[in-house]
Each structure stands twice: as structure tokens, then as C-alpha cells.
Amino acid sequence: MKALKEVMSWIIPVVIGLAIALAIKQFVFTRVRVDGPSMEPNLDNNEKVFAFKQSKIKHLSVIVFDAHGEDPAAKANTNYVKRVIGLPGDTVTSKNGYIYVNKKKINQGFISKSEQTSGTGNWTLASLQKTNGWGNGTTVVPKGKYFVLGDHRSVSNDSRYWGFVNKDKVLGVVKVPVWASNKTKRANVNNLAY
């Protein structure tokens, strides 16, 4: 009996600790690894960041989402990290390297001029849908969906090619920890949302 009490005295705290860790991962935040160059220069390939599940998604938030079913080429258990450009009800257009949301030019100071213009092109939501064969020609981001772009536009596989991201596919808003990256990159991911 004494041996059982002794074993239980250390098993119970371990079980409680594991339950708390699982609850935090399920409801608060999870660790995410960036895969690929589509968010450069602000997030690098293999960089580890956190996705906060309860954070509000705003314009320019960087999110992680389950890409399976969003991008037809994405396999199961594939997550993408992208920047939210359009919220539900927004119009989004691109002209000469500038992105306009609801006819207002957004500040893209978080990427260079060449990253803004290379591979971006001139388009509207309706023209993207027609060119790439997704959606139904809507001119606004539908309810419960987001329009996302990678920061490195010329290499990013994003909403331009496969459409909107469903709200229920979003795993969280990305935040770069203070010990990772540099101050400018952290600010470009953590502090731009409006």
C-alpha cells in the first residue's frame, strides 16, 4: 500500500501537468514551423513561431491555417502561413504592385518594392476567379472567409491561385517570440494588424 501511494504521488502531478499542456495546446496556442519561402523576408523557412488560437484576425494579421481542402494541391495535415489582406465584405484589387482594400491603398512597408511588384500583377477578385477557375465571380470576400497573400509574392501559393480561406480552417494568429528573429521582422508579423 505504501508503494502504491508513493507511485501515485508522482504519477498524479505528471498526469495533471500533461492535461494542462494539452489544454493549452488545444485552446490557447500551438507551436508552428514555417515551411518554404513564401513569407520571406519576415518569416524564414524552418522558423518556429506560435499560433494563438483566441487572437482576433484583422487586416495584415499573419495566420496559420489547414490548407487541405483550401488549396487543391495541399495534402492532409498541411498548414500554410499567410498574411490576411481581405476580411469578409472587403474588396481587394492589385494595380502596379499596390494592393487596395476597399479602394484604399494598404501600406506594404513590411516588404520591399520588388516583393510588392514582382509576381503581383494587376487583378480584382473577380478576375482572379475567372483566370484561375475558383469561386463564382464574387467581387467581395465572402462571409466567414479571408483573402490571404504571402509576403514574397513572386513565389507564394496563396488566395490568388486557389481562393478564399474558410474561417473554420484557421488554427491561429502567428506571433514571433521575442527571442527569435530580429526586431523589425517581429514587428512586421506581430504589430501590423489593424
* Mean pLDDT for back-to-back runs of 10 residues, the chain (194 residues): 68 62 59 90 92 92 96 93 97 93 94 83 93 90 97 93 96 87 86 86
What pLDDT score does 14 carry?
65
What pLDDT score does 118 carry?
81
Q: Could you count the other beta carbons within 10 Å of the beta carbon of residue 168? A: 9
Nearest to 172 by CA among 59, 83, 57: 57
What pLDDT score does 25 carry?
57
Cell numbers that stand for 125 in this block:
477578385
For the entire predicted model, the pTM comes to: 0.86
Burial of 109 (0-12, 13-18, 19+ CB in 10 A): exposed
Q: Where are the domains of the chain?
A: 29-190
Q: Rounded to the nearest 5 degrees, what angle is found at the Cα of 103, between the Cα atoms of 146 and 167? A: 10
The residues assigned a catalytic role are 38, 82
Residue with cell 473554420: 168
137, β-bridge pairs: none
Pairing of strands 48-52, 62-66: unpaired
Q: Which overall architecture, per CATH, does domain 29-190 show? A: Ribbon (2.10)
